[in-house]
Amino acid sequence: MPALPESYLTLARREAAAPQSATVTFPVERPLVMDSGASLKPFTIAYQTYGTLNAEKSNAILVCHALTGDQHVANVHPVTGRDGWWENMVGPGRPIDTDRYFVICSNVIGGCMGTTGPASTDPATGKAYGLDLPMVTIRDMVRAQAMLIDHLGIETLFCVAGGSMGGMQVLQWAASYPNRVFSALPIATAARHSSQNIAFHEVGRQAVMADPDWRGGRYLDETTQPQKGLSVARMAAHITYMSDEALHRKFGRKLQDRSAPTFSFDADFQIESYLRYQGQSFVERFDANSYLYVTRAMDYFDLAADYGGSLAQAFRGSKTRFCVVSFTSDWLFPTSDSRAIVHALNAGGASVSFVEIETDKGHDAFLLDVPEMMATVHGFLNAAARARGIGGAQ
């Protein structure tokens, strides 16, 4: 089997060991105690910050990334060379305005951009953790983030915001640390992963593990990578991020660079070519084992289960201000999921506003320039800033 190009191997090992962002390593004496019962020690968190923390330390916003995101929310990505994944939302003059707020975004535990994950070196063996990394949950991710926030000397976050898996982290933050979250913005998310979504994730994981180059998760040590399996997993997942209307508008049944079908299994249709491109570009920036771990963390997420089956109990007496956002064409995390969160917040006596945005862009709408979402986030944060006495409110 030919060795992988140096570019991937360099990326996987460099970003796991020496990421191009700030890091903090917590020593053995400060382990991350995980839901599985394991303790991760030592462990590292890689993160980015934008803007300036004010003297009162009251203007910090934690942005939580989605499944395949990372800490590079509003800067050029050091690997892909592309803009940050939420640059339309975060930056000077943007709804999450870095001229007013101090924005923090960290790579989650189990990730592959510098925070401890399966591509990181296991101090016990000197090799990549691979599947020896303890299983990760959303609550583990949030515990690690809380340790980072402590390290930065911030007692209370002005806001925690994120979409999809990031929204799950927002809800976990509000439940686990209600006195540390002034406001919360869960977007296009749910309080538990549905059986349908678990099923989609399992298809992706099986694609990765069926690739002969996965090598039982030891591919980095053997200079291989399950590129085909991970690419297929990404292709399948990407379909769920878009709506049927958006796919039809963008691609329809148009052929790719040809006037007639080839009567073969080549990529005759534009949508086929598009999905193949998405799969191939993904394997150049993401670790296959991280994909297994992070999808599994989403599958395990069921916030109500931690509170006797009552989601309202997770938010009982919360003083956090919430703004819940959903999109009409999102069938991965439909509006009914957001309404369940809103009903629980109301039952728990929390302050909550809810906006369902009309769009045909599907789940990915939270990443795109959707004017109503931008206006909603700006208005919510502006009102919260006034309530907290943060200057510059408009």
Structure tokens at 322: 């919430």
Q: Which of 151, 149, 150, 158 is nearest to 56 (CA)?
A: 158
Phi, psi (deg, nearest 5) at residue 61: -120, 125
Do 223 and 360 form a contact (C-beta atoms < 8 A)?
no
Question: Which of 65, 193, 201, 363 is flagged as catalytic?
Answer: 363
Which DSSP string do the residues of 201-221 spell out, in sequence order?
Answer: HHHHHHHHHHSGGGGGGTTTT
**357 vs 365: CA distance, rounded Å:** 9
Residue tagged active-site, from 97, 140, 268, 330: 330
Three-state SS string over 57-91 comes to CCCEEEEECCCCCCCCCCCCCCCCCCCCCCCCCEE
Helix (H, G, I), strand (E, B) or coil at 162: strand
Q: How many residues does the chain have?
A: 394
Cβ-count burial 77-86 (b if 16+ within 10 Å, e if not): bebeeeebbb
Q: What does the DSSP 8-state code read for residue 130? A: G
Look-up of token digits 């640390």: 177
Beta strands, E only, 130-214: 157-163, 181-187
Backbone angles phi, psi at 55, to 5 degrees: -60, -35
Q: Is 363 a catalytic residue?
A: yes
Contact present, 322 and 353 (Cβ < 8 Å): yes
Cβ-contact 131, 296 below 8 angstroms: no
Extract the tokens encoding 216.
């039982």
- Active-site residue, selected from the candidate residues 164, 183, 231, 243: 164
Does the annotation count 151 as an active-site position?
no
Task: Provide the annotated active-site residues.
Answer: 164, 330, 363
